[in-house]
Structure 1
Amino acid sequence: MPAQEVAAALHVDDAVLQQGLTQQAASQRLQHYGPNRLPEGRRRSAWMRFVLQFHNILLYIMLAAALVTALLGHWVDTGVLLAAVLVNAVIGYIQEGKAEAALDAIRGMLSLQATVVRDGQRQLVDAQALVPGDLVLLTSGDRVPADVRLVAVTELRVDEAALTGESLPVDKQVAAVAADAPLGDRRSMAFSGTVVVYGQARGLVVATGSHTEIGHINAMLASVDVATTPLIRQINGFGHKLALVILAVAALTFVLGTLARGIPASEMFLMVVALVASAIPEGLPAIMTVTLALGVQRMARRHAIVRRLPAVETLGSVTVICSDKTGTLTRNEMTVQRVVCADGQYTVEGAGYVPQGRILRGDAVVDAACEPVLAQAICAGVLCNDARLRQHGDAWQVDGDPTEGALLVLGHKADGPAPFAQDALEDAWPRVHAIPFESEHRFMATLHRSQQGRQHRIFLKGAPEVLLGFCNTQATADGCAPLDVDYWRRMGNDLAARGLRVLALATKDSPVAPAELTHADVQQGCTLLALVGIVDPPRQEAQAAVAECHQAGITVKMITGDHAETARAIGAQLGIGVGKPALTGAEFALLDDMALRQIANDVDVFARASPEQKLRLVQALQASGQVVAMTGDGVNDAPALKRADVGVAMGRKGTEAAKEAGDIVLGDDNFATIAHAVEEGRAVYDNLRKFILFMLPTNGGEALIVIAAILFHLTLPLTAAQVLWINMVTSSALGLALAFEKAEPGIMARPPRAPGTPLLDGMAVWRIVLISAVMMVTALGLFLWELQLGASVEVARTMAVNTVVLSEMFYLLCSRHITGSVLNREGLIGNPYVLLSIAACVPLQLLFTYWPAMHTIMGSASLDGAQWTKVLAAGSAVLVVAELDKAFWRRRERE
């Protein structure tokens, strides 16, 4: 609404617009509205947050295992299990504290002090003391202390990227905008937490504290629940089901042993406890932590810093990546791509601020010095310019407006026999005076004199529709010609349709140097030189990464604060949303949740999106069954980052609020790094699944041996102590080596697993049953065979124990690939950690077999060469059967 209506709504009169509030009125309003700060929600105590970390099925299983081992007197095992429980709880506690730090980071964005006018005096006050109706003064470098309706503006530009995602500083104005204008288009407002990069302004505070736009985002962030990762959901469900199966089997075994076999209840209880201890996957949390930690290390080497361990695996299961455009998919370095003159069009090669690239006319390389109109246009762009291009080592950077920087880079690319670089041109044409760019007028003009002082020339740059009104001629190779307005409008529309930001360049000779340059000096009689098409170009590696994601079955959606035409054109260059319409924030706001769910999966480019809309988009995609990764850098992205299955924040240009809300921080702000992280995430999930497929059959085989013996009224092949020994020596120690497996070939060529896919599919269940049965048959069969040959029970049991352990060693080799064969050089020796873990188990089994103390403790006995040969043959049966099973599944996949 107009400034006068805003003032009336705030109950301030014209005097306040000049003199500000009185101190008394400010104090009264402070009591009414409260301090200008964001509220802190009620927090759980540190002790309660720590206690709640133990509310986890896996930790319950580990505590149960610790209790069992304590009952059996295995105090070392008890200590290790309790330590693992404590470490997991501490990690969860720290992560929850990080989530709360996101809210603190937003509060930290608020200005500490503000310059106001009160009682007619300019004062520096604590920003918390600001109230609606206060008259605030803003100048370059200030952080806006509250939401302010501007009433006077002098060349004000505000960086709103953190709030709106707008890639360039926004020019502000006093004129009112539409009431329903998107946040990024409210040019008459300056918002709390944004930064003034140029100019000065005066404005009325219209909202403070939680009523500001940043306050709304803070409230959203506080109300957003963190989504549970797919892995945690799967492990929790798996843990519950496994616990029920273990308890049911244990109860059945106890009943059969005591009632059917007549085994004393005390002895049977110890056996059941041993079976439960062996069946409980107490190594699973540890292997999860180690596998995820190794993934973290590998991702860190690729510039992805992981702040929350489960996010590593979750990236591997994402089905949709919602990515910010500026700086992530693009370079965040404006670049001139096309120059249109009256008698020719030019393409400029290169991207970013590195001044390398040729200028082409058609397919031919041109020398700018030999193209008179192009040369004049480049001179105008370089001289009518306040930015500076600097080189720091191998890097180039622009000090000033990025668009002006792009014109300087163009000058360097054209630099040759005729100097077009900034310093050379400024020496030849020193600046005398200038009209700075103002949003109301949308152009800049500079007055220059020749080095000899005999000639004066005005250069202009600005919006094409403005400069067309100043010009009556156009420059051609033969001199000046009447202005062809239709041609220039057609060319401007063509550049805009390509997603380019269009600037016009013009000039005017001034035979008499004015004392200072005025608007009247440039508003007529100018000659139009060229239209320049400027863009923030896509990263080359991002284009390849988007294609790789598409190949991997992952949909990439682009969300930006830029306008729809620009967003759609950049998306097309990246391969995002090709042939599909872009959805703007205004259109987004008209959709209810049900309609949004339907459209969210079909539309890939979202423009002018507000923080609420980004959050709604993530929620809509999740509601339709997608696993969503969200990237962002601003405080406006924080709610969506927190709600997404994986929040990916930018490390270089990201705000602290975004980093604290995210699960992963990109050290290079590059989308390609996300694609690498997805590959690592898939490898982590594969390794966890390999461990489970290794652990369950080995634990199952031990249980089946005892259960079969009880069912068939046989001598028990394993004692309770021997079951615990096998479990301690092999299950976790051997399985840990699988955490070091590399990603399998073609891992990014397969689609992401469906969110509802169980941890164990039909093939996995079959594998578990098959291998458990093979281990049971070989170990129990060998045990009974030895007894029949006259061996003692101790010798037969020792052979059964070694058969189980050797079976697990051979099966570990098989487990390196779920369906791929390991009967090759890579399969057998490709993972040195597998060989080391096997080598570590060998001396332990020799101690078990030959050390007299173990004979007493474990009931073992020494074996001779013939008996070891039988053990080796029985143990290797698992390798043969598992490889045959893999061959069957590979053939089925091919068919």
Structure 2
Amino acid sequence: MAYNIPEHLKGLNQDELTRSRKRFGYNQMDATHKSSWLEMLVDILKEPMLILLFAISIIYILVGDYGEASFMLVAIVLVSAISFYQDNRSKKALEELEKLNEPLSTVIRNGQVLKIPTHEVAIGDLCLTEEGKIINADGKIVHSNDFSVNESSLTGESLSVFKNAESEDNQVYSGTITVSGLAVFEVEKIGKDTRIGKIGESISTIKAEASPLQLQITSFVRTMAIAGIIVFLLVCSFNYYQSRDLLASLLNGLTLAMSILPEEIPVAFTTFMALGSWKLMQQGIIIKRSSIVETLGSTTVICSDKTGTITENTMQLKHLYDYQNDKTYDSNTFNTPTLHNLLSYAMWSSEPIPFDPMEKTLHQVYQQTQTKDLRKAYTLFHEYPLEGKPPMMTHLFENEAKERIIAAKGAPEAILQVSNLNELEKKKVRAIIAELGKQGYRILGVAKSSFQGNDFPKKQQDFNFDFLGLVVFYDPPKAGINAVFQQIYDAGIKVKVITGDNVDTTRSIATQAGIRHTDKSIEGKDIIRYSDSDIEQVAEDHVLFTRMFPEAKLAVVNALKRKGEVVAMLGDGVNDGPALKAAHIGVAMGNKGTEIAKAAASLVLTNDDLSKLITGIAAGRRIYSNIKKAIQYIISIHIPIILTVSLPLFLGWVFPQIFTPVHVIFLELVMGPTCSIVYENEPMEKNTMKAAPRRMSDTFLNWKELAISVVQGIIITIGVLFAYQITVQTGSSEEKTRAMVFTTLIFANILLSLVNRSFYYSIFETLKNKNRLLTGVIIVTLIILFAILFFKPFSTFFAVSSLDISELGIALGIASVSVLWFEIYKLIKRKRT
């Protein structure tokens, strides 16, 4: 956008900028602490699993088993490396998101207007702010044009304040919002020295609330950890009672505790959310906090603005209705002299430096059609900003000869209400408005007034206005928007259109865009009069909400939330801020959205493409589904490990300690990457976007899902213990028995990771879905397994003997029966649905 900036405003040059930066630093609060790699490593070493490994290593050293102790130390390095890799990957993804979420500031440097990251604003910089922007430093106004600012974040006063370079108070402050016009200010204070910086803590110190899924997972892991402590104490006591060997009892207890602890789950959750956000960022969807990914998949209602979201926001001037000669003109005849008055007053009622697409168009058409351009001859000296229900705005200009222009424009109903037309004349104009509205046009009324003296009315509605006519814009629906809404409906998501436009225009555009049930509509002024329960009913029943203002938008969003809906609110303007903040998912437009909208939103679509929201919802559903698969896999595979470690001991079988910590930690090293790396990379199942959204109140595993995982785990346990018994029955040694049990469990683990890729589609169907990480993990696991079985140093260390082809076949057969029965369950499930 080109700015009409006075030539004398040059700003800092490079040398001045360097000196300023060296003396005063960067425009940021005390930098939030970022963990170094050493701190990350220390945090990892505090994890319960690592503490258990350290304890087991110490016991092995005490009993003189240095080989086992060395393996435990190697395991500590491996577990730490995997955790470090995961944490670092998540941290880098979140840092990338943080960079993208930083707002840009507009500055003048060396006479050039530049956009820079806000933290680079320096003392002495000339900053430029305009309507809808957040001011990012404290400073003194040096140039302004129709500038007003909302300072409620500092003063609590909600009304905007007009300021200029000559005002008694010509200061602007960081954190305040530009309501209208434009200002250039010289930066005097930055970072923690600003007024808002001294008031309290930076917003970055506010802790983000844990999401429902986070709370559920934390509770589950805590429960399992408590269970692990109780079982540890029981096993230690039982073993010590039998053997009177304290170190051996501790070792057995720690082995079992290690098998119970599901430390993979929180790691998996963090990884899924951070990498999910990072992948969405690469597709032009900026997530402000990673936990919002979880909520995206639960979206049940999308509340969309019309202009710029459903439509192109191009605002072509299609028609002019001149009241004086009662005639409607199309764009080919705008040069007609009789239209000059209407066109010029429409332009004068716009901002001198236009921000809104309609006002930009009016300025362009004025320039193209007027024989004499008077814009430089007149100065805006008084203004009534856009307000009222429905809204209107009035501008007062004056030239050196003290000749005045008083121009107003706004919603046609607002302009008709304040004009001097009688009721019959108003009725005639309303009929024209209705006819144009049905064709999807955006219509504004234009009026003029005259006033002597400077004792202006407090309200613009108190001027005596002459009605001039209508300016008629067409903002066509975006290409391909019908397909987008079809996808939304297919996903079981409802659509509401919430706009400031009138009902006829909104209905026409909504119908063209493929939005359903557009017959019922309601206006903001009616909504605000209803009780909360009535608004809930209206919000549920209606699709079109027209002539909406901030309070009405907020009321609808809150009503939908009370009804249990998960609400995604799309908006780009200052007026959308409260509703964006209140919605579960506030979605701002990246190109045409104001900074207020972006600051209030939790998600930004960088190219203003509504289809990207569908991509985000699909990603949310995929990630949530994959988290569940990962957790169900963890539960299912932990059960046979726990029972294989404990049952031989409690039942007094011939080889009570069939698994030692060495075997358990190897299984943990296989399971960790499988659940958090492999399942995170799992593609979305087909028809995921044809299903209804899940309820936010649902737990990550309901009783049925938990029961399925437990049953899977128990049947695998039966298979593993069956392998134990048939090997013992043939008179095999402890090493051979351990090899059979260990191999059967590894095979079962591999098959389970394949089967649990879907709880609906068959394994043959899911094998078509490419996941190279899964293939890689399976190959590496099998290589290590065969190395343990057939490479003498490894088999000696793991206390196993080699298996022949028939024994490997038996292990694979038992594992297959133990796992693949689930395919029959899935087949029955598919046939039922």
Give the TM bin, normalised by the shorter chain: 0.5 to 0.7
Cα offset for 1:544?
3.7
2:791 maps to amino acid: W
**Correspondent of 1:305 among 265, 270, 286:** 286
- Residue 266 of structure 1, aligned match among 247, 254, 258: 247
Cα distance, 1:466–1:265 mapped onto 2, change above 3 Å: closer
For residues 765-776 of structure 1, the aligned pairs below 5 Å read 765-776=706-717
Alignment of 1:125-140 (within 5 A): 139-140=144-145
Aligned CA distance change for structure 1 residues 663 and 803 (closer, same or farther; 3 Å): same
Q: CA deviation at 1:640?
A: 5.8
CA distance in 1, matches of 2:700, 2:791: 41
The residue number in structure 2 matching 1:283 is 264
The equivalent of 1:796 in structure 2 is 737
How much has 1:770 moved relative to structure 2?
2.3
1:807-842 deviation line (CA, Å, top 9, x unaligned): 111111111112111134x52664333222211111
Q: Residues 111 and 193 of structure 1 are in contact (CA less than 8 Å); yes or no, is this contact kept in structure 2?
A: no
* Aligned residue in 1 for 2:746: 805
Question: What's the counterpart of residue 781 of structure 2?
Answer: 841
1:395-424 C-alpha deviation (Å, 9 max, x unpaired): xxx988633665799x9xxxxxxxxxx99x
Query: How large is the RMSD of aligned CA atoms in angstroms?
Result: 6.0
Shift of 1:279: 2.8
1:821 aligns with 2:776: no
Give 1:728 deviation, angstroms.
3.4
Instruction: Note if contact 2:712-2:819 (Cα within 8 Å) is conserved in structure 1.
Output: no
Per-residue deviation, 1:688:
1.2
State the distance in 2 between where 1:801 and 1:702 align.
10
Is 1:777 the counterpart of 2:718? The answer is yes
- 1:449-478 deviation per Cα after TM superposition (whole angstroms, max 9, x unaligned): xxxxxxxxxxx9978899999xxxxxxxxx
- Amino acid in the other structure paired with 1:193: I
The answer to whether the 8 Å contact 1:112/1:127 transfers is no
1:623-669 per-position Cα deviation (integer Å, ceiling 9, x unaligned)? 55443444444566666656654443332234556545544322112
Equivalent of 2:315, from 331, 334, 341? Answer: 334
CA offsets, 1:256-299, max 9 Å, x none? 5555x668553343233223223322222333344334433542
CA 1:98/1:250 → structure 2, altered by over 3 Å: closer, same or farther? Answer: farther
Give the stretch that moved more between structures: 870-879 or 632-641.
632-641
Partner of 2:221: 239
Q: Which residue of 816, 819, 826 corresponds with 1:876? A: 816
Where does residue 756 of structure 1 map in the other structure?
697
Determine if the alignment matches structure 1 residue 699 to structure 2 residue 654.
Answer: no
- Work out whether 1:850 is the aligned partner of 2:790: yes
Aligned equivalents of 1:577 and 1:796: distance in 2?
68
Q: What is the one-letter code of the residue matched to 2:828?
A: F
Distance in structure 1 (CA, Å) of the matches to 2:769 and 2:750: 13
SS at match of 1:581: strand
1:648 aligns with 2:587: yes
Q: Deviations along 1:484-532, whole A, 9 cap, x unmatched?
A: 98655421243357664335899xxxxxxxxxxxxxxxxxxx999x965
Q: Match for 1:859: what amino acid?
A: A
1:320–1:627: 8 Å Cα contact kept in structure 2? yes
Q: Which residue of 2 aligns with 1:319?
A: 300
How far is 1:844 from its partner? 0.4
Instruction: Kindly indicate whether the alpha-carbon contact (under 8 Å) linking 2:236 and 2:249 is maintained by their aligned counterparts in 1.
Output: yes
Q: 1:193 matched to which residue of 2?
A: 177
Q: CA deviation at 1:684?
A: 0.9
Residue 267 of structure 2 aligns to which amino acid in structure 1? A
Q: Which runs of 5+ in 2 are unaligned?
A: 1-26, 61-68, 106-116, 128-135, 163-174, 185-195, 348-352, 385-392, 398-406, 418-423, 448-465
2:536 & 2:52 partners in 1: Cα distance? 44
In 2, are the aligned partners of 1:545 and 1:671 still within 8 Å (CA)? yes
The SS at the match of 2:686 is coil
Task: Compute the displacement of 1:886 (Å).
Answer: 1.4
> What is the CA–CA distance in structure 2 between the aligned matches of 1:138 and 1:591, rounded to whole Å?
47
Shift of 1:753: 0.9
**Equivalent AA in structure 1 for residue 223 of structure 2:** K
Q: 1:777 to 1:617 in 2, by over 3 A?
A: same
State the distance in 1 between where 2:321 and 2:505 align: 22
Whether the 8 Å contact between 1:326 and 1:332 is mirrored in structure 2 is yes
1:740-751 matches, within 5 Å, as 740-751=681-692
Equivalent residues in 2 for 1:420-431 (5 A)? Answer: 430-431=371-372
Would the aligned equivalents of 2:217 and 2:265 in 1 still touch at CA under 8 Å?
A: no
Deviation at 1:864, TM superposition (A): 1.6
**Which of 674, 681, 695 in structure 2 is aligned with 1:734?**
674
Partner of 2:73: 75
Number of equivalent positions: 698
2:628 aligned partner, one-letter code: R
Q: Please say if residues 106 and 656 of structure 1, whose CA atoms lie closer than 8 Å, have aligned partners that are also in contact.
A: no
Identity across matched positions, percent: 24
Q: Deviations over 1:513-569 (max 9, x none)?
A: xxxxxxxxxxxxx999x9653244443444543443333233344455x35648854
Residue identity in the other structure for 2:224: L
- One-letter code aligned to 2:805: G
* 1:300, distance to aligned residue in structure 2 (A): 3.1
CA contact (8 A) 1:327 1:669 kept: yes
Select the structure of larger CA radius of gyration.
Answer: 1
In structure 2, distance between residues paired with 1:683 and 1:809 = 22
- Please name the residue that 2:806 is paired with: 866
Secondary structure of the residue aligned to 2:286 is strand
Residues 82 and 854 of structure 1: is their aligned pair in 2 closer, same or farther, counting only changes over 3 Å?
A: closer
CA distance in 2, matches of 1:224, 1:598: 36
Q: Secondary structure at the match of 2:800?
A: coil
Secondary structure at the counterpart of residue 309 of structure 2 = coil
8 Å Cα contact 1:103-1:218 kept in structure 2:
no
- The answer to whether structure 1 residue 403 and structure 2 residue 358 are counterparts is yes
Distance 1:466 1:843 in 2: 77
Change in Cα spacing, 1:265 to 1:774, as seen in structure 2 (3 Å) is farther
- Output the CA distance in 2 between the equivalents of 1:876 and 1:128: 69
Deviation per CA, 1:15-56, whole angstroms, max 9, x where unpaired?
xxxxxxxxxxxxxxxxxxxxxxxxx999998599999999x9
Q: d(CA) in 2 for partners of 1:733 and 1:129?
A: 52
Alignment-derived partner of residue 130 in structure 2: none
Aligned partner (choices 621, 635, 647) of residue 682 of structure 1: 621
SS in structure 1 of the partner of residue 604 of structure 2: strand
One-letter amino acid of the counterpart of residue 194, structure 1: T
Q: Is the 8 A contact 1:461 1:505 kept in 2?
A: yes
| Counterpart amino acid of residue 549 in structure 1 | I
User: What is the CA deviation profile of residues 606-635 of structure 1, one whole-angstrom value per residue up to 9, with x for unaligned ones?
Assistant: 75443x776676666555544344444456
Structure 2 Cα separation of the partners of residues 129 and 431 of structure 1: 38
Aligned to 2:494: 555
Q: Counterpart amino acid of 1:728?
A: E
- CA drift of 1:240 comes to 2.7
Contact 1:691 1:738 in 2 (8 A): yes
| d(CA) in 2 for partners of 1:44, 1:297 | 23
Residue 888 of structure 1 aligns with an amino acid whose one-letter code is I
Deviation at 1:693, TM superposition (A): 1.8
Deviations 1:754-788 (A, max 9, x none): 11212122332232222212221222112221222
Q: Residues 698, 279 of structure 1: CA spacing in aligned structure 2 closer, same or farther, 3 A cutoff?
A: same
TM-score in terms of structure 2 length: 0.67
**Relative to structure 1, is the Cα distance of residues 615 and 265 closer, same or farther in structure 2, using a 3 angstrom cutoff?**
farther
Alpha-carbon distance in structure 2 between the residues aligned to 1:68 and 1:404:
72
Alignment partners' CA distance in 1, 2:509 and 2:75: 56
Q: Which amino acid in 2 is paired with 1:144?
A: S
Distance 1:746 1:884, change over 3 A: same
